[in-house]
Structure 1
């Protein structure tokens, strides 16, 4: 599964979410493109209070405090 990962510099929740995404890669085929919301005015306005955000096909899959379980459930729901 390939997703977009919306973040911004200096965001501790974003750093933790990215660590969870790296961990989930050991068990599931997850890849992502990182998008800095500070470089896109529309995405900044949309996600400034939600980051980190994991999005696929314009649908927010999870946001805020993102755990390993949250990410694993994304794969379970695809089966």
Structure 2
């Protein structure tokens, strides 16, 4: 059974969100079991209120949030802190 996964808060047609997900795809090369969930904040008023101006935001199971802009190195360090890489 897979454990908790990071959540990428996003919206449709968000080019920065696509870039962030591309970094996650690249990170999977070093962490083959890495999986994440993409949540469209436009479908939830509370999430839209919280993240609307900040997306993409990657929220980890431990509560840490990595907000854009972030690099592959930033992502790797966060994944290591969470024990996901």
Give TM class, smaller chain: 0.7 to 0.9
- Where does 1:1-79 land on structure 2 (aligned, <5 Å)? 2-28=5-31, 29-57=33-61, 59-78=63-82
TM-score, structure 2 as length reference:
0.81
- Tell me if the contact between 2:60 and 2:82 (Cα under 8 Å) persists in the aligned partners: no
Aligned residues: 79
Q: Deviations over 1:18-52 (max 9, x none)?
A: 00000000002321011000001100000001100
User: Between Structure 1 and Structure 2, which shows a larger proportion of helix residues?
Assistant: 1
User: Between Structure 1 and Structure 2, which shows a larger proportion of strand residues?
Assistant: 1
Structure 1, gaps ≥5 residues long: none
Please state whether the residue corresponding to 2:36 is helix, strand or coil: strand
TM-score, structure 1 as length reference:
0.86
